[in-house]
Amino acid sequence: MTRKQRRLYFVLLGMVTLGAAVALVLTAISDSLVYFYSPTDIVSQRIPEGRRMRIGGLVEEGSVKKDGKAVTFKITDITNAVPVAYAGILPDLFREGQGVVVEGRIEKDGLFHASEVLAKHDENYMPKEVAEALKKSGQWNDGKQAK
């Protein structure tokens, strides 16, 4: 084996070992790398009252009620929904059927009191006319995702 080959194998081996180590670490701490939980996680894991967290999902159709600055709505992943209360300015993209991430805590009244509402947008980009044409022809899938 020449010195060049030895260096090549040494670098390759190093990269593979490092890659494996990083993969293991990332898998191990995967839970804390998640930016938000889904409503199903919240319902199934029975997260205690008062713990600060983020929930991500879609704003349920027909659930938004506005009263001055106070808003209540339900955040859903189709399977489960969590009721949310928020007082403040909503982002431009906030609307029913749209993905959002809310940050706050579940209080004693069973509502999730959000201190911050962030809008999520999906990976689809198209001009208005195309969106309307798709809706008209029935090929529109709403861009809805449980995430």
Site for other proteins contains 97 (CB under 8 A)? no
Phi and psi at residue 70, to the nearest 5°? -85, 135
Angstrom distance (rounded) from CA 90 to CA 98 = 12
Q: Which residue of 63, 91, 111, 113 would you call a contact of other proteins, by CB under 8 A?
A: 91
Per-residue exposure over 48-58, b if at least 16 CB sit within 10 Å of its own CB, e if not: eeeeeeebbbb
- The strand pairing partners of 82, in sequence order, are 75
Mark the segment that binds other proteins (CB under 8 A) among 16-24, 68-76, 78-86, 107-115: 16-24
Rank residues 36 and 80 by Cβ distance to other proteins and give the closer one. Answer: 36
Selected binder of other proteins within 82, 90, 106, 114 (CB under 8 A): 90
Closest distance of CB 126 from other proteins, Å = 4
